[in-house]
Structures are given as structure tokens and as C-alpha cells.
Amino acid sequence: MFKKILIANRGEIACRVAATAKRLGVKTVAVYSDADANAKHVAVCDEAVHIGGSAPKDSYLRWERIIEAAKATGAQAIHPGYGFLSENEDFAKACANAGLVFIGPPASAINAMGLKAESKRLMEQAQVPLVPGYHGADQDPALLQREADLIGYPVLIKASAGGGGKGMRAVDKAEDFAAALDSCKREAINSFGDDAVLVEKYVQRPRHIEIQVFGDTYGNCVYLFERDCSVQRRHQKVLEEAPAPGMTPELRARMGEAAVAAARAVNYVGAGTVEFIVEQPGGYDAPEQMKFYFMEMNTRLQVEHPVTEAITGLDLVEWQLRVASGEPLPLQQDDLRITGHAIEARICAENPDNNFLPATGALNVYALPECVTFERANVSDTGVAVRVDSGVRQGDAISPFYDSMVAKLIVHGDTREQALARLDEALAQTHIVGLATNVQFLRRVARTDSFARAQLDTALIPREQAVLFHQEPVGLPLASAAAVAQTLLNERATEGVDPFSRRDGFHTHGVVQRRFEFEFGGEHAKAWLNYERGGSLHLTVGEGEHAVAGPLVFSAKAEGIELQFAGQRTRAAVYAQGEVDHVFTPLGATQITAIDLLAHAGEAAAEGGRLTAPMPGKVVSFAVKAGDKVAKGQPLAVMEAMKMEHTIAAPADGVVQELLYAPGDQVTEGAELLKLVAAEKA
Ligand code: ADP
Ligand code: ADP
Ligand code: MG
């Protein structure tokens, strides 16, 4: 086993690798960029080397510096994590040339599987079933269009060098092909430096089922069963589980053997994943009719590897380190068993209600559930019921330089139902304040009928959208009651210490009634709190026939406030951020703003007609010019940030007055991109 390794990555995966290394007594070296000088992964490693600027191309992709850092610190091997250099053949070779072990497959296997088109040609020879499509070298747009017409619409254009769900465009009809091809190629050259594409049949309502494989340097190769990653948005995984619901032992063996054949065809060593797209012509309840096709092989550890670890009781990073240091696979195929069911949820800094726009900012509150471990009866080591793999800590900032995943929540149960219940509870205990996250969205996805009944396919999110987006689970009465209770608790805590901090101006026993004003779900609301004789409280929320009134009873507990109001009884954790209270309850989370009328007196009305960058990034293109009339919702500009393109649409009908930037310009968050005069003023 190695004595010291360098981890050429950041975030949760760098921390994850460091944890296993530590357990095995292997010393770790972190590398970091300017933006990550105080990052968690730097803190958890034994040593750390600064390698450059914040942008990945200035740091995490600078492999000469990473290799220098390894040599300077005496590391014997480099773990690349996922993303960044993990599937970079040149990096794997450079490690070998520098006398360092690359903890991953041989460079030749990375190369063979690196480009989707070439890997499909290879798999064709190995007789692994493929999605019908064109994966040739000729990239003439007219030829690609003809091939697409031949395949029949809808088709999917994929960047051959693509990954992470980027560089893909679904095309519904022939007329749209050329524009989609252009946009796909642009994203591909930007993100992957290679604009070659392939065209595939767009499989309807497919499942994504992938097989974890592992090889060693002695010619052994096993499969560690499957993961179902069908729940996706923008072709990116949202929830992943193992085993795949409805999987039959027969299909599992066939897919497992096909995956091992794929790995063997490239002399695979280490951890890899063979991804299949699965057609379900017989619907959800006819697994025996499922047909699987090879999509791609990821020659690295996958984000969702923990669900495989949960059901097998194994540590895949430990296997990677053992295999890379020359040991044989610890187990053979016949030794491997599935225990229970595991689900992973990817926690991302993004706003699901705004087309999953990535969010940046500080994690002012970052409370995740406690990890829960249990002794497993028939597996030698300790099982984990709730596991959190996190790359950040409270107070850390999410910068625009890297992708938006901040943590993963992994649950394990004896059955899928038990795992689902644990996931729901764990997500309810996840309280993040400071920037938008998908936590509540994940909880709703896991609660949909489709997911609960395992009616899985990649269209689950669009199919269930009515219950997934723009939901208000708590409601005004309970949210107001929580905000009022928190205000009173805060006042009790400071009373006598700083009586002038009381906003109502009546901090003596003379108070009979207090008025509160809230903003909730875009609406204004009033509430009155009456101090009854004997010290009890009576709250009225809203006016007229919508008013909800009743006694307000609450007490502070470690997990939050125990609250009773208007026939509802709940637990609520309330975190104040300026005037906004973030309220977390078992029903879900919400925000309510307590308006301080004095503070707002005389404030000017909000300005209209400005279009600002939602995040720092680069202007890719403008779809309009000065003088153009635009309709509400019409795309105006395309920005690139966090490795993805974002379209900025007109908030209202109007006329474009002026473009304030040019394509290629770097802009900061909030920068005004163009001036728009609203229709009624124009
Ligand atoms: P996985 O395939 O492991 O389930 P993803 O496909 O979401 O997970 O990718 C994992 C991470 O690696 C993401 O951060 C993604 O942005 C990044 N990534 C994956 N493939 C590539 C690639 N070819 N180039 C750059 N980044 C990639
Ligand atoms: P990436 O390298 O970005 O992970 P993949 O080729 O693995 O790209 O595809 C990502 C996702 O896109 C798949 O999980 C699936 O949901 C969808 N997808 C890929 N190919 C097809 C296809 N031919 N038909 C329908 N959906 C597809
Ligand atoms: Mg993939």
C-alpha cells in the first residue's frame, strides 16, 4: 500500500478519498486554487499545495503543477477523483513518466473510452448492444443532417468528448437540426475543446441503468451490480439507487456480463462504470421486456459510487488504492452480494424553480443530518443507514468557478421503502440557508407517486412537474406563527440585556396587541398578536374571511421550535437572514419576510427595465440588437457560467434600447447586460 498520495481534485470527492486514505494509514496531499485556499478538502488532508488561480484551467487542470506538487511532497500516487483530469489520458501518461502511479485505468483504456463515438465503434466490435445512430468520423453538417433524417426523429446530438450531461441536444424535427447542431458544437468546443458529435436515436422514456465494474492488474474483472440513475434533469443525475427496482437476476447477470465484456475489451484496471440506456417497451411492470444498449463507459470513480458501497458493504476507494498499488481484487464475482437498498440524493446550489440556475453565495446555515451507522448482521463491517459526503462546511462560499454539487446524502435500508423513508427524514433535517439549493425539490421528487412506486424513466421529473416546482408546503398561518414565535424567543433571550433592540417600541408590560407585517409568496399579509390575561398568546393571521386565528403555543427545543397554532402542531427551525426568516418544518421549508415598516419608509420604488447577469460569467451571444421589439419570455442573451449555458429571457414585452456588453465579455453578478424599455413606456 502507498504511504502517501496526492488528491488532484476538490470538494466532496477530495474529502471522500482522503477519508479512506486516512482509515488505511495513507498520508494525503491536497492541491488547491486561490478560491479554495480555505476549503474543506485542504483542511482534511495532511498537506496542501497551492497550484494556481481559481479557474480550473489555471489550477485543477494544470497537470504539470500537480505532478510537481506530488514530487515535491513525496507522494507516490495521484487520485484524480471525478471530473477535471480523471479521464485525461495525457495526464495518466504524464504521471507514469514522472514515476507516479495514476489511480485509475491504463491510459490506453481512457483513450479507448474517452470519445463516445470511438468507444461505440469499439463496443460494436465487442458485440455490446448499441443505440442505433451515427458515430462516424465525417462531421459534415449536411451528412449529419442526412443521418439524423435516416435515424428518424427525435434524435439526440451528443458531443463525442462530452460528459456531465453537457453538450447534448435533443431534436424533435428535421428543421431544428441545424440550429441544435450549432449550439451543441459551440458548447462542446467551449467545455471539452472538441466539437465532434455523434447522433443517436432518442430513446423514449428510457431508464439509465449502469454497471459498476472493477478490474485488477492480474486480469480479474468483476461487476458490483447496477445503479439506477433514471431520475435526471438536463441529462444530469438527481437521485440514484441500487439495486435497480424491478431488476431480475437474469437481466442483472446479462448486463453485468456485457459490462465486464466492455471492460475487458479495453484491458480495464480499477473502478469503471458502463452506462446503459434501457428501453421498457412493456412499461414499468414488465422488466422481462427491458432492452439495454451501451451508452458510454466512465473510466473513473462515479459520483454515485456510495450506493454501490452501501449495498455491497465495500469501500470502492479502498479497492482503487489496493488495485493501484498492485494488489489483486479483494473479492471474486461469487463473493459479491447485495444487501438492502440504497438511494443517493445530490445536493446542489441551484434554484429548481428558476430552471435549475446555479447559485453562488455563502452557506450561512449548513446543518446536515447526523450520519447513522449500524452493525450489519451478515456483512463483516459496519453498515451506514445515513451517510453524508460533503465538500463544504458552514460559512464556506460556493464560488462560480466549479460545479454546483455541494454534498451527497446517501441512505440505506433493508428495503426500498425503508430507504425512502430515511431519505425523506434526512432531507427534512437538511437546513441550508444563504443560497438556493435543491434540497426541498429532492424531497418532493422522492415523494412523487412515480418514484415511490418505482415507475422510473428519464422523463420522471417533467412528468411530475406539477407537484415539483413552485410548491408552498407550509402555508402562511404556520409560517407566520413560526416567525412570530422565533421573534418572541429572540426577545426573551435579549430582554434586559438590550431592551432597545425591541422593534415594536413597547417593551413593557403595557403591550396588549402587536402588529406584524409579512411578505409571503409575493403577497402582503398582516398579523396581530394578543397577550391575553394569564400570559397566553392569541394570534390572528390575515384579514376578513381569510383570517386564521387561535392560541399560539410554543417552546424551544434543541431541534427547533415546537409549535401549535390553528389546529396544526409542528416542529420548526427558523433562521433569520436580515428580514427573511427561513422556516424548516417536517412539511417542507419556506421563507417569510417580516417587514420592518420603519426601516422601509421613504424607500424608492424598485427600478424596472434592467436586465442583469444572474451570476458571474461570460456573455456568449445576444439574440437581439438595439431597437428590437421583444416579447415577454423571448431569449435575449446567452451567458456561460459554471460550465453551462444559460439563456436570459425578457421579463416583459418591450424594446431593446442598448446592449451594454459584447459576446466574450466577462461580467460580474448583477452587471446590467442590456437596457430594455418596457412596452407601456416605449
Ligand atoms: P457521474 O457520471 O459520475 O454520475 P456526472 O456525469 O454528473 O457524474 O459527472 C461527474 C462530475 O464530473 C461532474 O462534476 C461533471 O461536471 C464532471 N464531468 C464529467 N465528465 C466530464 C468531462 N468529460 N469533462 C469535464 N467534466 C466532466
Ligand atoms: P454524459 O457523458 O454527459 O453522462 P451520456 O451519454 O451518459 O452523457 O448521457 C447522459 C444522459 O442523457 C443519459 O443518462 C440519458 O438520460 C440521456 N441519454 C443519453 N443518450 C440517450 C438516448 N439515446 N436516448 C435518450 N436519452 C439519452
Ligand atoms: Mg453518462
**Which ligand has an atom closest to residue 154 CA?**
2
Q: pLDDT digits over 176-187, tens only?
A: 999 999 999 999
Asked if residue 600 belongs to a domain, the reply is: no
Where does 551-642 have alpha helices with state H?
Answer: 597-600
Residues 347, 293 share a domain: yes
Q: Assign residue 76 the CATH number of its domain.
A: 3.40.50.20
Q: Assign residue 424 the CATH number of its domain.
A: 3.30.470.20
pLDDT band for 312, please (50, 70, 90 cuts).
very high
Q: Is 86 in the pocket of ligand 1 (CB under 6 A)?
A: no
Q: Is 302 in the pocket of ligand 1 (CB under 6 A)?
A: yes
Tell me the Cα Rg of the chain. Answer: 27
Residues 195, 213 share a domain: no
Average pLDDT over residues 71-79: 98
| 174: containing domain | 132-201
Residues 494, 455 share a domain: no
Q: pLDDT digits over 526-558, tens only?
A: 999 998 888 899 999 999 898 999 999 999 998
**Which ligand has an atom closest to residue 57 CA?**
1
Asked if residue 603 belongs to a domain, the reply is: no
Cα–Cα distance measured from residue 234 to residue 210, given in angstroms and rounded to the nearest whole number: 18
Cα–Cα distance measured from residue 579 to residue 592, given in angstroms and rounded to the nearest whole number: 8
Closest by CA to 332, choosing from 432, 421, 222, is: 222
Q: Bigger pLDDT: 623 or 597?
A: 623
Which one of the listed residues 300, 346, 387, 422 is annotated catalytic?
A: 300
How many structural domains comprise the chain? 5
Residues 211, 197 share a domain: no
Residue 56: the pLDDT is 96
Give the ligand 1 atom nearest the CA of 82: 12
Residues 533, 451 share a domain: no
pLDDT at 647 over 90: no
Residues 294, 177 share a domain: no
Phi-psi region of 421 (alpha: psi -120 to 50; beta: other; left: phi over 0): alpha
- pTM assigned to the model: 0.86
Residues 399, 363 share a domain: yes
- Of 144, 169, 201, which residue is a domain's last? 201
pLDDT at 63 over 50: yes
Q: Is 83 in the pocket of ligand 1 (CB under 6 A)?
A: yes
Residues 502, 453 share a domain: no
Asked if residue 117 belongs to a domain, the reply is: no
- Of 536, 560, 594, which residue is a domain's last? 594
Residue 632: the pLDDT is 80
Q: Is 236 in the pocket of ligand 1 (CB under 6 A)?
A: yes
Q: Note if 65 is an active site residue.
A: no
Cα–Cα distance measured from residue 288 to residue 280, given in angstroms and rounded to the nearest whole number: 9
pLDDT at 609 over 60: no
Asked if residue 635 belongs to a domain, the reply is: yes
Asked if residue 44 belongs to a domain, the reply is: yes
Asked if residue 124 belongs to a domain, the reply is: no
In the numeric block, the cell 462542446 is attached to 188
Residues 164, 15 share a domain: no
Residues 160, 98 share a domain: no
Residues 363, 449 share a domain: yes
Q: pLDDT digits over 222-259, tens only?
A: 999 999 999 999 899 999 999 999 999 999 999 999 99
End-to-end CA distance of the chain: 72
Asked if residue 118 belongs to a domain, the reply is: no
Residues 280, 175 share a domain: no
- Of 418, 442, 468, which residue is a domain's last? 468
